[in-house]
């Protein structure tokens, strides 16, 4: 048989047998600039988790630091919840006093092809959390409530805010994914996901162009409550 035919047939079989691209080495064998349009999906859970008065900027920094510690540079995966968790200290009102307790930050699933995508996924989760307690949502009182502290405390009232218990971010092919769970003290706080989802979408739009650069093509955004 002609050697050229044998070589061509063997090469075709090798290409067919190559993995589909979910491994940490996928970026070495594929060109991100050839992938076409992608969708970045943000899915938000429906159970409330208290963050107390930790709002806006301080909340963003605390969550970003927690996720950055769980998703170290140089690795295509984050530390999953079976390997450990990060914690963010929050304040809450007990029947007798204002107490401090840790909110657990746990990652269920993760994968990212590049350092830029790692930062984008962390930024998307963190920005979504921040959007849940933005000024507009606080003014509308969607996810925050004022708690009367009684004469014992000079401030009189305590602002207590809540966020979702879950945020998941994926790309169309699910090669890049980050599923994050938050677990804190349950005070049965208000959590209005449908009323907050537009703020989350607006926050994600600030990263849309960078997602396009990182994924090698135009990107659309989808957000949903579950």
Task: Give the 3-state secondary structure percentages of the chain, helix then strand then coil, rounded to 5.
Answer: 35, 30, 35
pLDDT at 155: 62
Domain-embedded: residue 68 = yes
The whole model's pTM is what?
A: 0.80
Per-residue pLDDT of the chain (226 residues; tens, 9 = 90+): 443 443 334 433 332 332 233 233 333 334 444 457 899 999 999 999 988 876 656 888 999 999 999 999 999 999 998 898 999 988 877 766 777 889 999 999 999 999 999 999 999 999 999 999 875 555 556 788 777 776 666 666 777 888 999 999 999 988 999 999 999 876 567 788 998 999 999 999 999 999 999 999 999 999 999 9
pLDDT at 35: 59
How many domains are there within the chain? 1
In angstroms, rounded to a whole number, what is the distance separating the alpha carbons of residues 50 and 186?
6
141 backbone φψ class: left, alpha, beta (φ>0; ψ -120 to 50): left
Domain-embedded: residue 206 = yes
Print the domain residue range for 50. 36-225
Domain-embedded: residue 17 = no
In angstroms, rounded to a whole number, what is the distance separating the alpha carbons of residues 55 and 159?
10
* Whether the Cβ atoms of residue 182 and residue 64 lie closer than 8 Å to each other: no
Q: Which of 108, 88, 82 is nearest to 100 (CA)?
A: 88
> Which helix or strand (DSSP H or E) is residue 219 part of?
strand 219-225
């Amino acid at each position: 048989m002609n050697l050229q035919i044998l070589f061509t047939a063997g090469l075709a079989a090798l290409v067919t047998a190559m993995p589909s691209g979910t491994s940490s080495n996928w970026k070495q064998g594929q060109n991100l600039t050839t992938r076409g349009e992608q969708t970045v999906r943000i899915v938000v859970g429906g159970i409330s988790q208290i963050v107390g008065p930790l709002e806006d900027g301080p909340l963003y920094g605390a969550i970003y630091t927690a996720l950055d510690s769980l998703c170290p540079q140089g690795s295509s995966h984050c530390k999953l919840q079976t390997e450990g968790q990060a914690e963010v200290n929050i304040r809450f009102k007990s029947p007798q006093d204002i107490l401090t307790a840790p909110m657990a930050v746990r990652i269920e699933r993760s994968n990212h092809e590049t350092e830029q995508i790692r930062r984008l996924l962390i930024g998307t989760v963190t920005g979504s959390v921040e959007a849940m307690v933005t000024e507009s949502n606080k003014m509308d009182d969607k996810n925050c409530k004022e708690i009367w502290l009684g004469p014992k405390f000079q401030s009189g009232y305590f602002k207590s805010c809540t966020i979702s218990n879950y945020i998941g971010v994926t790309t169309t092919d699910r090669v890049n994914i980050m599923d994050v769970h938050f677990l804190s003290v349950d005070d049965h706080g208000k959590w209005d996901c449908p009323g907050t989802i537009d703020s989350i979408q607006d926050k994600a739009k600030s990263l849309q162009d960078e997602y396009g650069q990182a994924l090698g093509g135009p990107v659309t955004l989808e957000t949903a409550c579950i």
